[in-house]
Amino acid sequence: MGKKGKRDKKGKGAEKTLAKLEKKVSRRARKEEEDLEALIAEFQSLDAKKTQVIESSCPPPSPRLNCSFSAHPEKDELILFGGEYFNGQKTYLYNDLYIYHIRKNSWAKLDIPNPPPRRCAHQAAVVPTAGGQLWIFGGEFASPNGEQFYHYKDLWVLHLATKTWEQIKAPGGPSGRSGHRMVACKRQLVVFGGFHESARDFIYYNDVYTFNLDSFTWSKLAPAGMGPAPRSGCLMTPTPEGNIIIYGGYSKQRIKKDVDKGTLHTDMFLLKAEGAGKEEDRWSWSRLSPSGVKPPPRSGFSVAAAPRNCCLLFGGVHDEEEEESIQGHFFNDISFYDMGKNRWFPAQLKGPRAEQRRHRRGRQAEAAGGEELQLPPPQGPLEIVKELVAEDGTVMTIKQLIPGAAEDKDRPGPEEEEEEEEGGGPGQPLEPWPRCSAMLAVKHGVLYVYGGMFEVGDRQVTLSDLHCLDLHRMEHWKVLLEMDPKTQEWLEESESDEEEDDDDDVEGAEGGEEEEESSEEESEDEEGEQQHPAVQPGEAQPQYMARTEQHWLSLARSHMGPQAKDKKVLKVAHAMAKTFYEDPI
């Protein structure tokens, strides 16, 4: 009784401290948010001009992170909403809505009247009700200079069948926040954690709210037991039994004036519904101690449901503090968590079946006295460090994790045609770029990874590529949309104009129309590539260009433009190929 009483007293003290801090942050943030409300209202007035639903084919979305990416519950479609982009000088916020048609491998932009305001770091959950509903809660809006923040506490639903947005106004919900997590569990939405930040203060949450999808009412839970510490960006997944699992996340504390200390959480908790089916569910926290190979500590990872009662964790970043800087180690690995066995295990790609046949044929040739040499496959994960030099001279160091690959693919042979038929064509990248804040969606057991970012010093590279991986076969990644990180614009602070009119800010937050136009121009450049042959007849091709010639020439041509001379295009293509994939290890 004594120990329990002390724990209860300690818990109540922490609640009082959190309440005081929340009031303090709220007072200081109110002025900031009032300033931003006027800007948000201006953007909404632009959105109010939309009077009809328009769906049109379009280029892929512009680079972004912290948007939502959800699978349609009934159609072979993925739904992308919102997000942010930073070019070194200005922050762009979006509220555009894109549909990715899986079977066609094509994008469409969906303009619907009265959408939610621009935002990032929100949460989305899909339920199959009435032809499908996409629920969105919270998130944040940032000023163009990225120094002021507005945290939303609104709840929206997109009716997929009728293509209409609806704002749900229900009292008693969570306070404004971003970085929280939300899942659909049974007939309710469950919201956990997140943070609220102003220019000077911040607060992290560990509260839990549920929204009933039948009565449209919010409830704040008071689970028994010791729950997770306040955090954002954690893994949150429902179990088939109607419980909730929480893992990891990030938080920071102020240890003295202007000095904050970040914490990478690696603990795991179960939020169990003990009174399921009754009028008032009773919930309780308990700590989990999973077995297996746990993922290394990180923040900014992404989460998705997986087959066989599992969920998966992809990517993320581990910041290593040095004397005068912070060096980020970015990941592109996958870890699975088996909810039934309470066990972690890393993903291992098997490689395409044609490649396995090549191994067998090599062994047969060796047994028959043939001269074909079979190299043994690498044992275990392999870390590759690459250095890329951007146009402005910035050296970009990227660590890439290859979790077990197969033999050397550079040797030409008749088996390559079969490999192409199996979907593992020549020149195909082994993995997506290491990144954090990527968007994941799973449809028919296939994982789709879109966008995200990685950093090199003070430079941020925001991605817009799209990859997929069959979670049943676990053979190889497939590239659906490529992106060359070296070609992305980055503006140094010293280059910025001190005077910017408000019209520029409005354009910047409208959703990246300029990027879309440039994407169209690049597509046209690629289509016209055949009219600009970059390889001179009779020229010998180096080994690293043999199988990826058209791939690199296409990237070089789209980067340099149709007016560039063929010899220069060829030279740049060689440099790209050597730098990206073909450097000796």
99-103, 107-111, 221-225, 562-566: segment of lowest average pLDDT: 562-566
CA nearest to 266, candidates 238, 303, 228:
228
Beta strand 343-346 with 446-456 is unpaired
**Where along the chain do its domains lie?**
53-349+431-486, 541-582
Query: Over pLDDT 70: what percentage of the chain?
Result: 64
In this prediction, residue 315 has a pLDDT band, given cuts at 50, 70 and 90, of very high
In this prediction, residue 21 has a pLDDT band, given cuts at 50, 70 and 90, of low
- Token pair of 516 as six digits: 């879309």
Q: Over the stretch 112-124, which tens digit does the pLDDT of each residue have?
A: 999 999 999 999 9
Q: Over the stretch 332-345, which tens digit does the pLDDT of each residue have?
A: 999 999 999 999 99
Give the pLDDT score at 561: 58
Distance CA 267, CA 269 (A): 7
Give the pLDDT score at 543: 43
Query: Over pLDDT 90: what percentage of the chain?
Result: 51
Give the pLDDT score at 398: 53
Distance CA 514, CA 522 (A): 12
Q: Kindly report the CATH number that applies to the domain delimited by 53-349+431-486.
A: 2.120.10.80
Cα dihedral sign, 464-403-576-536 = negative
Q: Over the stretch 227-261, which tens digit does the pLDDT of each residue have?
A: 999 999 999 999 999 999 999 999 998 888 778 88
pLDDT at 361 over 60: no
**String of DSSP letters for 542-579:** PGGGTTTHHHHHHHHHHHH-TTS-HHHHHHHHHHHHHH
Give the pLDDT score at 457: 78
**Mean pLDDT score across all residues of the chain:** 77
In this prediction, residue 175 has a pLDDT band, given cuts at 50, 70 and 90, of very high
Give the pLDDT score at 496: 44
Helices then strands (H, E): number in the chain?
Answer: 7, 30
CA nearest to 135, candidates 113, 155, 163:
155
Give the pLDDT score at 495: 46
Q: Which long-range contacts (CB under 8 A, 24 or more apart) does 2-11 make?
A: 7/226, 11/226
pLDDT at 450 over 70: yes
Residue 224 is given by DSSP the state B
Give the pLDDT score at 116: 96
Q: Which residues contact 210 (CB under 8 A, 6 or more apart)?
A: 188, 189, 190, 191, 218, 219, 221
Give the pLDDT score at 577: 61
